[in-house]
Structure 1
Amino acid sequence: MTLFTRFSALILAFCLALPALAMSLDEAKNALESAKSQGLVGETPTGYLAAVSSDPEAREIVKAINDARREAYKKIAEKHGIAVTKVETVAGQKAVDKTPPGQYILVGDSWVRK
């Protein structure tokens, strides 16, 4: 086996393992409140979370939670015969309203501590 072949096999194995490294929804749910309290993650008016910082774990939490929210919003929209964007907007407003003091919300283009 040549060095190139070994290297290619190693890269392929790493790429196949990447999905297994992703944070599960349960792990993300368990880490969410702490991440919000630490100011790493905040709510947006679009109904989705966003990373306030460039912390890799915050990004993983955001991705896992947002994927689940996207699916839930889609089901709600289909059930009620409305646009997904309407569900996202209503959910976003509720999430921003329910955000406790000290945590971040996105206002315009800026993160604001509520």
Structure 2
Amino acid sequence: MKRLMQLAAFIVAIGMVLPAFAMDLEEAKQKLESAKQQGLVGEAPTGYLDVVQAGEDARAVVNAINSARRAEYTRIAEKHEIPVTQVETVAGKKAIEKTPDGQFVLIEGQWVKK
């Protein structure tokens, strides 16, 4: 299991050094709130963002933020010696609970405006 976690962390690290056309994390953080308010991006119970509706940079924002989340979830899982899926599930639940009214969350496979 530890080997699998190391492999996941390595894959995340490789993903962070994608070609220059990929959006960096800081730019994604700056665009995230606007993308959520526009209904382009929403929170899923998996602990990750997903595209609700294609629009300006929505996929790039999702990819950059999810890459950072994946790395953090992996770090937490390794620290506590628990499966990363457990961390993802808890994070997803918290993210959905914290999502403000008017933004989208994925509930039972359907995007719902909270």
The reply to whether TM is greater than 0.5 is yes
Instruction: Report the TM-score, using the length of structure 2 for normalisation.
Output: 0.83
Q: Cα distance, 1:40 vs. partner?
A: 0.4
Indicate the residue corresponding to 2:30 in structure 1: 30
Structure label with greater radius of gyration: 1
> Is 1:78 aligned to residue 75 of structure 2?
no
Q: Cα distance, 1:100 vs. partner?
A: 0.2
Q: Deviation per CA, 1:16-68, whole angstroms, max 9, x where unpaired?
A: xx811110000000000000000000000000000001225100000000000
Q: Moved runs in structure 1, 4+ residues, more than 3 A? A: none
User: Which structure has the highest helix share of the two?
Assistant: 1
Indicate the residue corresponding to 2:109 in structure 1: 109
Aligned sequence identity (%): 63
User: In structure 2, what is the Cα distance between the partners aligned to 1:105 and 1:73?
Assistant: 20
Gaps of 5+ in 1: 1-17
> Does the residue aligned with 2:100 lie in a helix, a strand or coil?
coil
Q: Could you tell me which amino acid in structure 2 is paired with residue 87 of structure 1?
A: V
Number of positions where the alignment pairs a residue of Structure 1 with one of Structure 2: 97
Q: Could you tell me which amino acid in structure 1 is paired with residue 29 of structure 2?
A: K
Indicate the residue corresponding to 2:21 in structure 1: 21
User: In structure 1, what is the Cα distance between the partners aligned to 2:20 and 2:67?
Assistant: 16
Instruction: Report the TM-score, using the length of structure 1 for normalisation.
Output: 0.83
> Does the residue aligned with 2:106 lie in a helix, a strand or coil?
strand
Gaps of 5+ in 2: 1-17
